[in-house]
Structure 1
């Protein structure tokens, strides 16, 4: 199946999705109401493709680039598309308007998926005539380097729409997971949020510096988690598996969990202190260069994992 894909929004996520689909041979039409944003799209995509080529993650730049079109007329952009990836603002009212407009211009069987980071699909699709073809397909940024996609249907979403989305993501070299019930933040951001909340409290309460907290994840948890999940990790960390691990260490984790307060770890003072420490390590003018370094490291890791997976 070679699908024709429509993408709403020419920002960072929309451009990244265009790369994901086009490198797998799918034709893409990228729509945005902002003509200036569309004007910058191809240069940004070309640079990302060049980076992927240098990392040996793609074989050619021109082939995927030739499959990406831009359009600032919604009806023209969505003509003949089988799947739409919406990358609009993280705002319920804005998404409701976008989906109403989409429903008026796409075919009745076109799947409409949102890149939202945490809004349940039912909150912006329950007013539609055909909410059964709507769901969330939440990527990790940037999706052409990090393959996980959370497929999160609403109670109205049909099984056919879910299956088509899962199959499409696999065809696009992504790794889809199914969120079985609607939950704010889905799976990844709820896990990330739990770690961030605890990290902020430990930093705020003076137990650890920001730098040493990052080292704990970078040189500890993150090494195993880069190729195993937390459940497999604990299953392998006790002689007789996960139940044995729970019996050994469950009391410790229960006690620690009871010690956690319900206060807001994202308060202004904590963020200001964290920002001051981070900017002492990395001045603001160095952020863009460090982001590029991050992407290069991700590319190297992806290339390594692909090499290992072939053995």
Structure 2
């Protein structure tokens, strides 16, 4: 079993005070999700090492992160108790995977949603990461047993799936292996517009996203349009949807019909602007909720 547990870098539930640098996290994969994970961990005071299999990608991601942190700070939407400059200093892009993994207590995988790619990555991480480190995957649809069952260190592997956009929504699914049902609370809520059984107030953090975008618009913005979403995640959504009754196939005419509607309403070439506006509104909503909680003396960072 894993005996090592990091101390919490901030007191209280909200990341608002008493921050200190504590422990190191490695992010494998520096795309959108990887960058937002890095920003979240830095906001909490963790040292973050970015690594990407594509040469030069992690360095480019650092530049994007620096720009995003400055923009968030200027708008008053920066998370955590550290300044943008302090958070930037916590994030690095070491030149090798060995250096990135050295001293890490947690490794967060953020690669493409492909089971074979994840098998290869986790085989590498299990061989190279410190023995006490947790190995977490950001997958949204693949069961952890599908890419960790043959690993010597499979006991330390689990899914930690962030809801998109991770920086603005306080919900992460933790899915252990092999004792979990196909699909967690977030997928069930998104696919059926309702929470799965057993969800309580602290679990349901998707409502802010649906304030601005409905389920189809969420699908449109979580990939390069509906068609791309269905190609990437359709099989996983279908498995989860099978528990609801008649199962949509996410293929053929139904995809064509919905994709045509969504592409008219929200053209793929406009998605970057749509996502930017969504993030702006989500950040403003989070700030409003934080101010409201503080005004009534609550420490609950809802």
TM-score normalised over the length of structure 2? 0.69
Which whole-Å CA distance do the structure 1 matches of 2:175 and 2:64 have between them? 29
Q: 3-state SS of the aligned residue for 2:278?
A: helix
Q: Which residue number corresponds to residue 186 of structure 1?
A: 184
Whether contact under 8 Å (2:105, 2:133) holds in the other structure is yes
Larger helix proportion of the pair:
1
Which whole-Å CA distance do the structure 1 matches of 2:247 and 2:181 have between them? 22
Give CA deviations for 1:244-289 in whole Å, capped at 9, x if unaligned. xxxxxxxxxxxxxxxx973535233222222322233333332211
Which whole-Å CA distance do the structure 2 matches of 1:261 and 1:95 have between them? 30
Structure 1, gaps ≥5 residues long: 156-180, 197-216, 223-259
Q: Which residue number corresponds to residue 9 of structure 1?
A: 29
Aligned counterpart for 2:246 among listed residues 262, 267, 289: 262
Q: Which moved more, 1:70-79 or 1:296-305?
A: 70-79
User: Using a 3 Å threshold, how does the CA distance of structure 1 residues 72 and 190 change in structure 2: closer, same or farther?
Assistant: farther
Q: Which residue number corresponds to residue 134 of structure 1?
A: 157
Q: Which residue number corresponds to residue 122 of structure 1?
A: 145
Q: Which residue number corresponds to residue 94 of structure 1?
A: 117
* Pair member with larger Rg: 1
Q: 3-state SS of the aligned residue for 2:39?
A: helix
Please, what is the CA RMSD of the aligned residues? Answer: 2.5
Structure 2, gaps ≥5 residues long: 1-6, 8-21, 195-209, 216-243, 297-302
Q: Which residue number corresponds to residue 277 of structure 2?
A: 293
Give CA deviations for 1:277-305 in whole Å, capped at 9, x if unaligned. 22333333322111110110010011111
User: Using a 3 Å threshold, how does the CA distance of structure 1 residues 81 and 218 change in structure 2: closer, same or farther?
Assistant: closer
Q: Which residue number corresponds to residue 84 of structure 1?
A: 107
Whether contact under 8 Å (1:145, 1:298) holds in the other structure is yes
TM-score normalised over the length of structure 1? 0.67
User: Using a 3 Å threshold, how does the CA distance of structure 1 residues 261 and 86 change in structure 2: closer, same or farther?
Assistant: closer
Q: Which runs of 4+ in 1 moved over 4 A?
A: none
1:73 aligns with 2:96: yes
User: Using a 3 Å threshold, how does the CA distance of structure 1 residues 125 and 282 change in structure 2: closer, same or farther?
Assistant: closer
Which whole-Å CA distance do the structure 2 matches of 1:28 and 1:295 have between them? 23
